[in-house]
Amino acid sequence: MLAQDGKISAAVEKFKQALAIDSRFKLNNLEVYAQGLAALAFLDKGVELAEKGKIDTALTKFQAAQELKTDLKIDAYQWNTLCQSGIVYGQAVQVIAACEKAVALKPNNWEYLHNRGIANALLGKMACAIDDLQQAANLLFFKMDEEENYQLVQGWVDTLQAGNNPFTKEVLEKLR
């Protein structure tokens, strides 16, 4: 719990106490281990905060996790959760980098492309939005159980191509 709360020094001391009690308990670098636990806890908290719409605080937790463990692997799902949450809570500017990272890790995931496309539309990058959403629609086209999502995403592409932005406040609220 101490490491997960970011109390690295206290966690290291507890690990040392455990070593004194039971010599079978071995860790080569207690501080690195404690930092790793804290980083994972910060990341989990960041995802949780993002889902609640607390984007600035979530971004701070993601950053803290990366600072504690520079080789931390944040997966596409976690980046996409931050991306999607930022979009639906009106903070596309703050999360576009997360959207980019999600797509970079999973370039053939229609949801990640879809979310980056929406973020791009909200940022006024219509050509990028159309490209992302068309790729998402193309991926959905071949999925038997995704006809409704295909129609929705393709409709957004058509609307954007006609020069209109379909991502109103009401649409974003429905996406929550």
What is the domain count for the chain?
1
Give the pLDDT mean for 134-146: 93
Point out the least confidently predicted range of 13-27, 47-61, 150-164: 13-27
The first and second tokens of residue 74, run together, are 């944040």
Greatest C-alpha distance within the chain:
71
Answer whether residue 112 shows pLDDT above 80.
yes
With 0-12 / 13-18 / 19 or more C-beta atoms within 10 angstroms meaning exposed / middle / buried, residue 116 is buried
Average pLDDT of the chain is 89
Q: Is residue 147 part of a domain?
A: yes
List the one residue out of 117, 112, 109 whose CA is nearest residue 134: 117
Q: pLDDT (tens digit, 9 = 90+) per residue, 40-90?
A: 999 999 999 999 999 999 999 999 999 999 999 999 999 999 999 999 999
Question: Residue 169 domain-assigned?
Answer: yes
52 in any annotated domain: no
Bigger pLDDT: 142 vs 151:
151
Instruction: Say if 14 falls within a structural domain.
Output: no
pTM value surpassing 0.85: no
- In the prediction, which pLDDT does 176 show? 86
For residue 16, what pLDDT is reported?
57
What would the pLDDT profile of 79-107 be if each residue is shown by its tens digit? 999 999 999 999 999 999 999 999 999 99
pLDDT band at residue 33, thresholds of 50, 70 and 90? confident
- Structural domain including 136 reads 103-176
Rounded Cα gap, residues 118 and 79, in angstroms: 15
Q: How many CB atoms lie within 10 A of CB 165?
A: 14
Q: Would 19 be classed as within a structural domain?
A: no
d(CA 157, CA 152) in angstroms, rounded, equals 9
Give the confidence band of 142 by pLDDT, cuts at 50, 70, 90. confident
In a domain, 47, yes or no: no
In a domain, 84, yes or no: no
- Residue 56 counted as domain residue: no
